[in-house]
Amino acid sequence: MSRRQVGRADGRAAALGLTGDDTGCTVLHADMDAFYASVELRSRPELKGLPVIVGGGTRGVVLSATYEARRSGVHAAMPMGRARRLCPQAVIIQPSHGQYAEVSRGVMEVFRSITPAVEPLSLDEAFLDVSGALRRLGSPSAIATALRDRIADEQGITVSVGVAASKFVAKLASSAAKPDGLLVVGVADTVPFVHSLPVADLWGVGPKTHEVLTRLGLTTVADLAHTPVRTLERALGQAQGAHLHELAWGRDPRSVVPETRGKSISADETFSRDVDDPRVVHRELLRLSERVAARVRGEGMVARTVVLKVRFADFTTITRSRTLRQPTDLGRDVHAAAVQAFDGLGLDRARIRLVGVKAEGLQPLETAPLQLELGAPEHGWRDAERAVDDLSRRFGAGVVRPGTLVDRKSAGRAHEAGHH
């Protein structure tokens, strides 16, 4: 399963006798590992392997803790005073909320480059329905592996992924895979897997419900599953009793509900090694701009704003936007704005890890009549770029490209990401 660590998940799968068959398992639950702490450790590698707690003040609460701190009993939402007593040797870091939001946006962009069916639950976890991506990207397991690799490469953090036929089981699988693992619970494996879990793992089982179930002698999901549903309904109420009975048999009909979000199209590139040559960056911006513009044209849209993203070697990320004098769907216009934004940064051999280009302020082409440049032919560049679109559809992306992109060795390409 690629180079991401899967030891714990493999051991768990072997212990349960899971087959790893992902046929029909098109729901993924992706959950970042110790998210806030992991983001902080990117710029503080000397703290890796130590107990680290992210939280504020003596009266605040723990936002995140590394697994080394968790072994002392520290967990999220715990009062900081108690966390300090449990793990006095821990390093305490004040939260950087802006940084977490930026990393979360990058992670969600990776998800949406795989499938538009993404349902975020928080900054650091989401459900994905990959049924529409199987033909393009391979099996659910292959998609999950690629997703994990890209997030590690582009964001410098790890993610655990559960693959299953339903949201409920996928979430249980990602929890079992932690940290930094991938676990597949096949359709035939669902009931044995769910029945092996403690009853507290079921959605909707809080402290009070757990107390009631314990009084009934129900400690595992298997115990609950084999309890008559009428007994559960009498003890918990009709709705909750019936709901928990369904979950105990792995039945969860809910679909992934995509988040409603503003329209934009973007593409990012993480270099295989950090680069500090502006010429290499300019070339990469051209490739990304051509790709973004092609997708803008494919949607029948034009863009009013171009956004440049630059991530440095220390994972610091900045964005700069340029509003165009008139909307465009041309790669040359997008590239010109991106290069202008990059050159305006005045970077002096700064080492760059990633660059990205985004088109925002999209509107339908027919509602945004385009003015001709002085001396330009009536169609010119637009017809040329649409001809390239036609060739790409017929013969594959990249069959025709600007001459400066023919030799791509110096670009240090590692990964591609197109987002919608």
**Active site positions, annotated:** 125
184 vs 177: CA distance, rounded Å = 9
| 22 annotated ligand-binding residue | no
Cβ burial of 116 (10 Å; 0-12, 13-18, 19+) is: middle
**415: three-class secondary structure by DSSP:** strand
Distance CA 99, CA 101 (A): 5
- Region for residue 266 given its phi and psi (left: phi exceeds 0; alpha: psi -120 to 50; beta: otherwise): beta
First CA to last CA distance, the chain: 27
How far are the Cα atoms of 281, 300, 302 from residue 367, in angstroms, in the given order?
Answer: 34, 11, 9
Give the ranges where 216-358 is alpha helix by DSSP (H): 221-225, 229-236, 238-248, 278-298, 331-343
Residue 240 near residue 203, CB atoms below 8 Å: no
**307 Cβ neighbours under 8 A, 6+ residues apart:** 266, 319, 320, 321, 322, 356, 357, 358, 359, 360
Instruction: For residue 390, give every residue at least 6 positions away whose Cβ sits within 8 Å of its Cβ, in sequence order, or none.
Output: none
Distance CA 207, CA 205 (A): 7
Residue 203 neighbours by CB distance under 10 Å: 13
Q: Which residues contact 354 (CB under 8 A, 6 or more apart)?
A: 154, 268, 269, 270, 271, 309, 310, 311, 317
- Say if residue 31 carries a ligand binding annotation: yes
CA–CA separation, 285 vs 253, rounded Å?
43
- Report the interhelical angle of 167-177 vs 7-16 (nearest 10°): 120
User: Both tokens of residue 371?
Assistant: 């003015």
Contacts of 389 (CB under 8 A, 6+ apart): 294, 297, 298
Q: Is the peptide bond before 228 cis (omega within 30 degrees of 0)?
A: no
